[in-house]
Amino acid sequence: MQSQGNDDEDLRLLNNSVYIGLGSNMGNRFAHIEKAISDIKHGLQTEILAVSSIYETSPVGVENQPDFLNCVCLLKTTLEPRQILNKLLEIEKSHGRSCSSMNLPRTLDLDILLYGELALNEPGLIVPHPRVTERAFVLIPLAEISPNLTHNLWERTVTEILESSTFTDKVEKVDNVRWN
Ligand code: AMP
């Protein structure tokens, strides 16, 4: 793995804070998100430390498709980013995800948003996820669970990025969602 900022030895030793973004706009969206949280916990053999509220959000890119439900979760793991990505792709597949194009309806979309301070750009894997700072549906739930979260590529906290942005997309908190 090529990394900037951490060498491979550090990665094996650190228990890294990893933020995962979840989204669904096909089928029973809430059921997909809820099950995915449990799948991540079991698949990555980790505790989920925080889960944001669920937000209903308008699709970005291709607009003629259903609204998404989105949230983010935080976990700690010693797994390396590629191992996490492979697990997330397996989980997406187990939820019947078949589309391979960006911005199309999907039963489940899982993204590695951040992996500690790691900055990584490999074929098929970019961390932090390049669209974190451009998407209100990611920044808002991230700022909810970790308002002071930052990365040395950003030089600002997620709250500061959010406050200086002018997003017009719908991102509405869904009330009365209970996590078991
Ligand atoms: P998407 O349409 O956003 O679900 O794109 C899925 C593809 O994005 C995956 O097959 C990954 O290879 C690639 N990808 C690149 N960086 C990331 C990341 N940080 N998290 C998840 N997928 C990523």
Q: Is residue 18 included in any domain, yes or no?
A: yes
More confident residue, 3 or 22: 22
Residue 102 has a pLDDT of: 63
Q: Is residue 178 included in any domain, yes or no?
A: no
The amino acid at residue 4 is Q
More confident residue, 23 or 176: 23
Cβ atoms < 10 Å from Cβ of 15:
10
- pLDDT tens, position by position, 133-168: 999 999 999 999 999 999 999 989 999 999 999 988
- The tally of CA atoms less than 13 A away on the side-chain side of residue 155 is 0
- pLDDT tens, position by position, 52-104: 999 999 998 777 889 999 999 999 998 999 999 999 999 999 998 765 566 66
Cα of 103 vs centre of ligand 1, distance in Å, is 12
Q: Is residue 31 included in any domain, yes or no?
A: yes
**Cis peptide upstream of residue 123 (ω within 30 degrees of 0):** no
Answer yes or no: are the C-beta atoms of 177 and 56 closer than 8 Å.
Answer: no
Q: Is residue 2 included in any domain, yes or no?
A: no
Give the CATH number, domain containing residue 98.
3.30.70.560
Mean pLDDT value of segment 118-142: 96
Cα of 125 vs centre of ligand 1, distance in Å, is 6
Q: Is residue 6 included in any domain, yes or no?
A: no
Ligand 1 atom 23, closest CA: 125
Residue 2 has a pLDDT of: 41
The amino acid at residue 10 is D
Q: Is residue 168 included in any domain, yes or no?
A: yes
Domain that holds residue 161: 12-173
Q: Is residue 180 included in any domain, yes or no?
A: no
- pLDDT tens, position by position, 10-62: 544 457 899 999 999 999 999 999 999 999 999 999 989 999 999 999 998 77
What is the number of domains present in the chain? 1
Q: Is residue 113 included in any domain, yes or no?
A: yes
56 Cβ contact list (under 8 Å, min separation 6): 67, 68, 69, 170, 171, 172, 174
